[in-house]
Amino acid sequence: METNVPYSERRMVENEKLARRVNRQLEDRVTEIRRDEGADTDAPIQFFCECSFLGCRERLEASSAEYGRVHSTPEHFVVVDGHEVLAVESVVDRIRDFLVVRKRAEAVRAVPEPTDADIDKDDDPTTKE
C-alpha cells in the first residue's frame, strides 16, 4: 500500500493495533468465562495499555462497555496516562486513570489489522518487534 505515513508512525500504529487485538481476545475470553459462571459480564477487566511503546505491559481497568465505546472509532486506542505520544496522536478523553487517544486516520488505514497468526508468532504478544 502506497502511503505518505512515515515508517516510524506506521510501526507505532502496528504496535497499538496488536495490543488492541490481544485485548479483544482477552475481553472475549473473560466475558465467556464470566457468562459460564453466571458472573457480571460487564465488571471491569484488566486490559493491556495500547500505547506504541514496544513491550509495554502496563494494565488499565475498563468495563467491556467502556472498551467497546472507545473502539467504536477505529482511530481510538486506550493508553495509560503518560503513554500518549502527542507528536502523532491527540488525547480525546480521560476515563478514570486512562486516556483515549486518537491516531491520524491516514496512519490507521496504512496499517493492516493484525491476525491471530501475528499474535501467535511469539509467546508474549506484547513484545512483538
- Give the model's pLDDT for residue 121: 58
The b-or-e profile of 99-112 (16+ CB within 10 A means b, else e) is bbbbbeeebbebbe
Instruction: List pLDDT tens digits, range 69-105.
Output: 999 999 999 999 999 999 889 999 999 999 999 988 7
- Give the model's pLDDT for residue 75: 92
Q: Spell out, as residue ranges, where the chain has pLDDT lower than 50.
A: 123-129
Q: How do the domains of the chain map onto residue ranges?
A: 7-112
- Give the model's pLDDT for residue 107: 74
- Give the residue carrying C-alpha cell 495509560: 80
